[in-house]
Amino acid sequence: MHAFLERLGRAAARRHWSVIAGWLVIVVGLFVLRSAFGGTFVNNYTVPGSESSAGLNILNKDFASAGGYSGSIVFHAKSGTVAEHADVVKSTMDAVGKLPDVVTAVDPLTTSQSAYISKDGTIANAPVSFSVVPASLDKSYVGKLDPAVQPARAAGLQVEYGGGAGQIGKQANDGQSEAIGLALALLLLFLMFRSVVASGLPLVAAVFSVGGGLAILGLLAAVKDFPVSAPTVATLLGLGVAIDYGLFLVSRHREQLDDGMDVEQSAGHAESTSGAAILVAGGTVVIAILGLYVSGVPFVGALGLSSAIVVAVTVLAARSPYSRR
């Protein structure tokens, strides 16, 4: 293995521009395929085999009106009480009850449970149950829900979506936090190496490898369900290990160059030593993450699989040595 890695390192150093161009073609090609054939990530979390899941199945089968996934429509009277708008609240909940995927929509003013209404009568919480996890519904569903509650808003009531209903159409955007993390990583690397090139190489390699891994993940999403949080978790783990593995090779390569090795010899030796350690470390991480399938919870296992895919790609990316000083 060490001899093979050294030959690989020397070959990549001799043809470093070809290696870089090859990775560019691969990553760009993966993104094109992802755009054309990729799937979408789901926000439908279930735990088959658990007691809560079994109980929910019984409710849905024998007591449909008591089953489903909970949410709520909250009415707030800015002046007076909600009871003064009983008719519009009733018509609103009737309209909500007719929407797709809604099992029941309870008018809080026609029930005997005072817990649905605040003590001063200015707030009423209307329970709504859905046949699917509300967070799995996209923004187009909000376009159906908003018109249903519009009469209440037109009557002067403040209407908000609570509980699971408040998660409908919500998509997290982690781009800003990831950009801040990359900037801090670049600053830390620069303080360590005092070189823009040496600092930027591990980071650039990490971005390309993680990007390629996420593109593969997007393609697999067309045939397998992955939770919406999968890309975020995979990105965090992928960036961490990719930068770490890049540092292994850069540090060894720079030390050997300082000791008088030429670029090709140093690249090959760094690959056969630090590169071998990366294979072992990366393989261990992949196997450990896949252990999440032991939990028996499908979406947790899918998180492990998504992270393992990105980590595996970063290990492959680390096989392209850093061939310049």
- CATH number at 269 reads 1.20.1640.10
To 10 degrees, what angle do helices 196-220 and 175-193 make? 150
**Are residue 193 and residue 278 in the same domain, yes or no?**
yes
The Cα 50–Cα 56 span in angstroms is 10
51 in a domain, yes or no?
A: no
Q: Give, rounded to a whole angstrom, the gap between the first and last alpha carbons of the chain.
A: 25
**pLDDT given at position 276:** 83
**Are residue 123 and residue 201 in the same domain, yes or no?**
no
In sequence order, what are the beta bridge partners of 105?
A: 128
Look up the pTM and report it.
0.68
**Are residue 71 and residue 204 in the same domain, yes or no?**
no
Helix (H, G, I), strand (E, B) or coil at 153: helix
Tokens linked to 294? 């032991």
**pLDDT given at position 50:** 61
Domain boundary among 167, 196, 229: 167
Cβ-contact 121, 131 below 8 angstroms: no
**pLDDT given at position 3:** 80
**pLDDT given at position 42:** 74
Averages of pLDDT over runs of 10 residues in the chain (325 residues) are 78 80 88 88 65 64 63 90 90 91 86 76 90 81 91 92 83 68 77 72 81 90 84 85 80 80 81 82 89 80 89 78 46
**Are residue 178 and residue 285 in the same domain, yes or no?**
yes
Which DSSP helix (H) or strand (E) runs through 73? strand 69-77
The Cα 189–Cα 203 span in angstroms is 9
Residues 225, 231, 233: CA angle, nearest 5 degrees: 110
45 in a domain, yes or no?
A: no
Cβ-contact 156, 81 below 8 angstroms: no
Cβ-contact 143, 94 below 8 angstroms: no
Torsion angles phi and psi, residue 169, rounded to 5: 75, 10
**pLDDT given at position 159:** 93
Which DSSP helix (H) or strand (E) runs through 15? none
Domain boundary among 167, 185, 211: 167
**pLDDT given at position 321:** 47
Residues written for the chain: 325
Sign of CA dihedral 314, 319, 320, 325: positive
Q: How far is CA 27 from CA 102, 226, 234, 236, 295, in A?
A: 42, 21, 17, 19, 33
**pLDDT given at position 87:** 92
What value does the CA radius of gyration of the chain take, rounded to a whole number of Å?
Answer: 27
58 in a domain, yes or no?
A: no
The Cα 71–Cα 93 span in angstroms is 13
The Cα 302–Cα 292 span in angstroms is 8
Domain that holds residue 229: 2-37+174-317
